[in-house]
Structure 1
Amino acid sequence: MTPPGWTPGLTLRVAVIADIHVCEPWMPLDRVAEIVDATNALAPDLVLLLGDYPASRTVAWHKVPLPDLVRLFDGLKSPLGTYAVLGNHDWWDDRAAMVARRGPVESHRLLEARGIPVLDNDARRLTKDGHPFWLAGLGDQEPFLPLGDPRSLADIPGTLARVTDDAPVLLMAHEPDIFTKVPRRVSLTLSGHTHGGQIRMFGISPALLGSSRERYAYGHVVEDGRHLIVSGGLGVSKVAVRFGVPPEIVLLTLGQASPTA
């Protein structure tokens, strides 16, 4: 696709990895290693990690230490590097952060220590073939338990204030709900979180049916000329079942090559 406001001549291959939820037996480390290899085989220019690295306690028979997971991310290879945001489970899994009501959480510390920037209401200016673009990431929207806690860490105005020119913006936001507030200045928003409903039949996700999240359950969404892509992700949460939503690495090819003379 060519998103709105995209620079002519800027072509970008982006691999998106969402909702790994590492745990035994559903997402062991050897499977994560296969995901890393499969991502590299796609030859992306840029790799984006959309959060939720640990699994929920409702599905994990055995917890996998997060340092072991993040160490595998060292194997991700792309010319423009790997960038990350955090998800709700990265917060919920950190008991100290739940008590203190603040981070940085373990996932954040480990990713940064391995050289993977966590864009927490931050933006970075990157360049591909002489064409600049911005990669931005939001803080998590559901960081605190219990689930009724309304506090969100996502700051769209503060994040976009870091964008200092008119180059196109890619925005990472773990939960897609915030898309209603994303301005046209953003060319494309990338989210995970929903697992595509995790169980999906006839294009419907029963777990999300009737909720505000149903409209952003899965795939490419266009509203008012703004574009959102929601990954089905890789792992499981709440129940250890995926049906009708195969685990996926999303590969985006953005823009078109300049015509040859």
Structure 2
Amino acid sequence: MTKDITRRAFLKGLFASLAGALLAAFGGYGYARYIEPRLIHTTEIEISSTKLPSSFSGVKIVQFSDTHLSEDYSINQLEKIVNKINLLSPDVIFFTGDLIDKPNQYAYLHQISPVLGRLKAPLGKYAIYGNHDHGGYGTSVYETIMKDSNFNLLKNRGERISLLDGSSVFVAGIDDMMLGRPDFDQTFADAGSRLFTILLAHEPDAALEAKQFSVDLQLSGHSHGGQVQLPFYGPLITPPYASVYTEGLYEVDSMKLYVNRGLGTTRLPYRFFSVPEITVFTLIKI
């Protein structure tokens, strides 16, 4: 009788454990597939510098990145992002690349510009190329979409963002490190060491070269924060040029680097412990 009770208890415990494991597995799958990819976290960061003009103190920058429009990230989701960014009342908007996952296969190209065109920023909207923007014969497609959306597409060049009092900061955009033709010397040809300088570089590991120039802040995406992370371990895998810097804020010599986790997914439509992100930077003169 005791053996039967012990055996019954053991089997009951084993069944409960297996059932729990299956529920956790399927629950984890459902969360990673359908819940976390649709979440949006807004990260707010103050960037302070003595190089900033006083009139730029309080200027608000919004960065978004890596939408990877596809069957898994729809135009409707992009519309929600646009509405959310406009509610943040940015002065400047930066998009750091990878608009469409596969440009040559995407059936709704004509719907993108009317949505992105609704983004409002009085000091300008700027964008750069990511690897997916060049891939799939997408180079000219992306250029046309961003131009029609009133984005200033920076490709190995920079320009000043100026206020009415004549004060300015410099924003530069490097071409994609993987599929483009990045040229750092050309990108910073018009920059001055006294100007507060922001670099938009899709791949975060571009910082290893950018730190040799007078860059104060680099904004990147590309990594998706690994897209899938394990607690106490971190990202399972990161893409090329995102192995040194994967997410969040870094100090790279005298330069600050922020790696945005992006909004969409690529290869697999999952996110786990890597919530999609919009970043808000407030400039502070010190």
Find the partner of 2:226 among 186, 197, 204: 197
Instruction: Please say if residues 56 and 238 of structure 1, whose CA atoms lie closer than 8 Å, have aligned partners that are also in contact.
Output: no
2-structure distance, mates of 1:2, 1:50: 18
Q: Using a 3 Å threshold, how does the CA distance of structure 1 residues 162 and 217 change in structure 2: closer, same or farther?
A: same
Given candidates 104, 122, 125, the residue that maps to 2:157 is 122
8 Å Cα contact 2:203-2:241 kept in structure 1: no
- The Cα offsets for residues 55-81 of structure 1, whole Å up to 9 and x where unpaired, read as 149xxxx83423311221111011112
Q: State how far apart, in whole Å, the 1-side matches of 2:202 and 2:241 are.
A: 16
Matches within 5 A, 1:27-46: 27-46=73-92
Give percent identity, aligned residues only: 27
Q: Once superposed, what is the RMSD of the aligned Cα atoms?
A: 2.3
- SS, match of residue 122 in structure 2: coil
Query: Secondary structure of the equivalent of 2:229?
Result: coil
Structure 2: any 5+ residue segments left out of the alignment?
Answer: 1-45
Matched, 1:109 2:144: yes
Q: Aligned partners of 1:114, 1:42: CA distance in 2, in Å?
A: 19
- Name the residue aligned to 2:133: 90
Greater than 6 Å deviation, 4+ residue runs: none
Structure 1 partner of 2:185: 157
CA offsets per residue over residues 203-222 of structure 1, 9 Å max, x none? 6111139x873331100011
Displacement, 1:228? 0.6
1:190 counterpart SS class: strand
Output the TM-score relative to the length of structure 1. Answer: 0.83
Structure 1: which 5+ runs fail to align? 98-103, 144-151
**Per the alignment, in what secondary structure is the counterpart of residue 249 of structure 2?**
strand
Q: Give CA deviations for 1:176-208 in whole Å, capped at 9, x if unaligned.
A: 121100135111000000101101233611113
* Number of residue equivalences: 236
The correspondence for 1:185, drawn from 192, 214, 224, is 214
Equivalent-residue separation in structure 2 for 1:50 and 1:14 (angstroms): 13
- Cα distance in 1 for partners of 2:50, 2:189 equals 18
Asked whether the equivalents of residues 200 and 219 of structure 2 are also in contact (C-alpha less than 8 Å), the reply is: yes
Of 202, 207, 217, 2:237 maps to 207
